[in-house]
Each structure stands twice: as structure tokens, then as C-alpha cells.
Amino acid sequence: MNYLTVHKPASDSFTEKKSEFIGYIAPVKTNDDAVGFINKIKAMHRKARHNVYAYVLQEDNISRYSDDGEPQGTAGIPVLEVIQKRGLTDVCIVVTRYFGGILLGGGGLLRAYSHAASIACDAAEIMDMRLCYKIQINTDYGMYGKISYVLPDFDTVTVNSDFSDTVTLEVLVMSDKLNALQKELTEITNGSAEITVLDEQYADFSCLKSN
């Protein structure tokens, strides 16, 4: 149920034997989103020799690619394989090539398109999307220290906090840890904390990897 995607569009480029390769990546949710992004990049680079693309969607488990005139198997498939090896979903990559007059050969093309896709991924902010619940915790100041101490043990992400007459926290907790967290909070506050489950959603937990 969990997946990796990108936060926003990103790009990078390099030159190989006078051919410029520009890799673009963007988040997409639907086939129309992907086609729209591809057409946008093509419009930006009308004079380019090739605009190769690949995309993977959760919706209907779709994955598509195009060599856009390059020899079959040397362009679109390498780009698609980069997406798949990185474990990315709901993303589209377009690699624009401005031909520099020197042929790269099948192996050279494969490596170039794969590298362009890889550096586009490297330039992007990766999001670790997890199925989770947003919960609201209301407590008094005396219990706040205990609560804030145990929250990291359950890999939670605090998205909002309000310190007024009482402390109100909005916290994301992965679905499989919700029950354990509720039990722990009840125990350490002797049942005084009010815990309300707000909704279930996918949210980015990538910040946990840097902690």
C-alpha cells in the first residue's frame, strides 16, 4: 500500500558526444496528467530531435513508454526501468535529446537515456507515501512532555500544534501503528488525553529517514 513518488517537477542535464540530454520528472496522477506533462515538454523543445518518455501510475496499474524515433529498446525502456528500479509511482519522466551529430550506438543510447532519467530522479524530492491516520490529541500541559517523548517511538509526523489553554496536536500515524499508539497514550496519561481519529489518507513520511 505504500509507495514512493516525487513532490514537484525537477530536471537535470548532461552532454554526451555533443548531444545534450535533458531529463525531466514530474508527479502525475492520471493518464491525462502524464500526457499533459509530455506535451508540455515537447512544446518547450520543438527543435529537439527526440522527446522520449515513460510513466508509471497507480491508477489501473498503468506503465507506458515511447522511444520517439530512437532505435527500439534504446530509449523508452531504459527510462521506464529507472522508474521501476527506484520504486517510483505516479511519476512521468521525459528525456529530451538535442542531437549533436555523432551517433552513440545502441549501447551508448541506452546508457545515455538511463543516465538522464537517473539524474532527473536525483534532482527530485522523493516522498515516502504511507497509508496513515491523522489523529488529534488534546491534553493539558502537564502531560505534553510525556506525549512528545513517546511519539517518535511510533514513527509519527506532527503536522500541527496549538498551545493555548490546553495542548492540541494533529499527528500522522501509520495505519498499522494506530492501535498501539492509542493504547500507549491512554496508559501514560491515565486516560486524560483526548484522542480523536480524524481521517485516513496517504501522507509523506520521508522526513523520518533523515532523523
Per-residue model confidence (pLDDT) at position 105: 84
List the domain range (segments joined by +) for residue 151.
129-210
Per-residue model confidence (pLDDT) at position 211: 46
Based on the fold, state whether residues 133 and 116 are members of the same structural domain: no
Based on the fold, state whether residues 148 and 113 are members of the same structural domain: no
Residue that is last in its domain, among 73, 102, 124: 124
CATH number at 46 reads: 3.30.230.30
Structurally, the chain folds into a number of domains equal to 2
Three-state SS across 139-167? ECHHHHHHHHHHHHHHCCEEEEEEECCCE
Query: Residue 52: phi, psi to the nearest 5?
Result: -80, 145
Cβ count near 121 (within 10 Å): 22
Q: Cell 552513440: give the residue.
A: 104
Based on the fold, state whether residues 38 and 23 are members of the same structural domain: yes
Single pTM value for the model? 0.84
The one-letter code for the residue type at 99 is F
Helix axes 141-150, 178-188, angle to 10 degrees: 140
Based on the fold, state whether residues 72 and 167 are members of the same structural domain: no
Per-residue model confidence (pLDDT) at position 209: 63
Per-residue model confidence (pLDDT) at position 104: 81
What does the DSSP assignment read for 17-76? Answer: TTEEEEEEEEE--SHHHHHHHHHHHHHHTTT-SEEEEEEEETGGGEEEEE-TTSPTTSSH
Based on the fold, state whether residues 36 and 120 are members of the same structural domain: yes
Based on the fold, state whether residues 135 and 110 are members of the same structural domain: no
Based on the fold, state whether residues 92 and 183 are members of the same structural domain: no
CATH number at 169 reads: 3.30.70.240
**Residue burial 85-97, b: 16+ Cβ < 10 Å; e: rest:** ebebbbbbbbbbb
Q: Which mean pLDDT values do the consecutive 10-residue runs of the chain (211 residues) have?
A: 91 93 96 96 94 94 94 94 96 95 85 96 95 94 92 92 93 94 94 92 80 46
Based on the fold, state whether residues 139 and 102 are members of the same structural domain: no
Per-residue model confidence (pLDDT) at position 208: 72
Per-residue model confidence (pLDDT) at position 103: 80
Compute, in degrees rounded to 10, the torsion defined by CA atoms 23, 29, 32, 33. Answer: -40
Based on the fold, state whether residues 69 and 113 are members of the same structural domain: yes
Per-residue model confidence (pLDDT) at position 106: 86
